[in-house]
Amino acid sequence: MILQDRIAIVTGSGSGIGRAGAIILAREGAVVVVVDRDRAAAEETTGLIAASGGRAEAAVLDVTDDEALRSMVADVLNRHGRIDILHNHAGAQVSGDLEGVSIEGFDRSWHLNVRSHFLAARLVMPAMRSRGTGVILNTSSSSGVLYDREMIAYTTSKHAVIAMTRQMAGDYGRFGIRVNALCPGWVDTPFNDPFVAQMGGRPSIETYIRDRVPLGRWADVSEIAEPILFLVSDRSSYMTGQILVVDGGETVV
C-alpha cells in the first residue's frame, strides 16, 4: 500500500469526490480524517472505510469556522504527531453573474473555496516544515482554467485557488513540501445542482456535456479518486506547483 500509516486530512469528504478520495487514500493505508459539516455524512464515509478494513476518523465542523479548523488540526497533531497529507476539497458552487450574484453568495464562495484552503494549509504547514515533508492538494476546478457562464463567484474562487497553489509550491518546495491543484470537470454528483438549475435542468446539462466535452459524458467519482491518489502519493514525488485537469477534454476544445 503506497500510503501506509500516513496521516491524511480530507475536507468535504462526507460525499462525492471528497468521499471517493478519502476511501482510496484509506485503501492505500492512510489514516484518514474525514472532515465534513454534516455528521451523518462524515460518519457514513468513515463507516464505508472501516467496512473495507481501512482506518478513518470523523471530524464534524464547518471549515469556514477558523477556531473549529484550528482545533481540529491541533487535535490531529496531538493524537498522531504529524500530518502527512492535506486535501483541501470542501467547496460550493454559487451561481449568478456580476449583477445577479448576491454579495453574501460571493463572500461565501470566497470563504469556503479559497480562504478555508488557505487557513488549513497555514495550520498544517509548521508541522510539515519541521519534518521536511508533506503534501497539500487543493481542489480547484476546470472552472479555474476556463469561463463558466454566469458563475462569477465560483470561477473567481477557483482561479484564485490555482494562483494560491502555485504560490505555496514556490515558497515551500525548499522545505520538502509539495503543493498541487486538482481541476475536475463534470462529475456526476449533487455538487453541480446550482449550475444544472441555472442551465434549465438535467436535459439541458446533458446536451451541454455531449456538445462541449470530447468524451461526451460525465465522470464518475472513481475517475477523480485515482488522480487524487496520484497527486498525494510518492507517484508524483517530483511534481509541485502543477494543475492537473481531469475534465474529459473540455478545456482543449
pLDDT for position 141: 95
Residue span of the structural domain in which 66 resides:
7-252
45 is a domain residue: yes
Q: Establish if 2 belongs to a structural domain.
A: no
For residue range 103-160, what is the model confidence (pLDDT) as tens digits? 999 999 999 999 999 999 999 999 999 999 999 999 999 999 998 788 899 999 999 9
Judged by DSSP in three states, 76 sits in: helix
Count of structural domains, the chain: 1
Residue 77, in any domain of the structure: yes
With a pLDDT cut of 90, the percent of the chain lying above it is 86
In a domain, 19, yes or no: yes
pLDDT of residue 253: 67
Mean pLDDT across the stretch 207-215? Answer: 91
> Is residue 1 included in any domain, yes or no?
no
pLDDT at 192 over 80: no
121 lies in some domain: yes
Q: So which residues are the catalytic ones?
A: 154
Mean predicted lDDT score pLDDT of the chain: 95
**Secondary structure tally for the chain: helices H, strands E:** 9, 7
**Domain of residue 174, CATH code:** 3.40.50.720
Q: What is the mean pLDDT of residues 212-227?
A: 95
Distance CA 77, CA 202 (A): 44
Domain assignment present for residue 220? The answer is: yes
Residues in the chain: 253
**Per residue in 165-176, pLDDT tens?**
999 999 999 999
**Average confidence (pLDDT) over 171-195:** 90
Would you say residue 27 lies in a domain?
Answer: yes
- pLDDT at residue 241 in the model: 98
Region 214-243 average pLDDT: 97
What's the angle, vertex CA 168, arms to CA 166 and CA 174, rounded to 5?
110
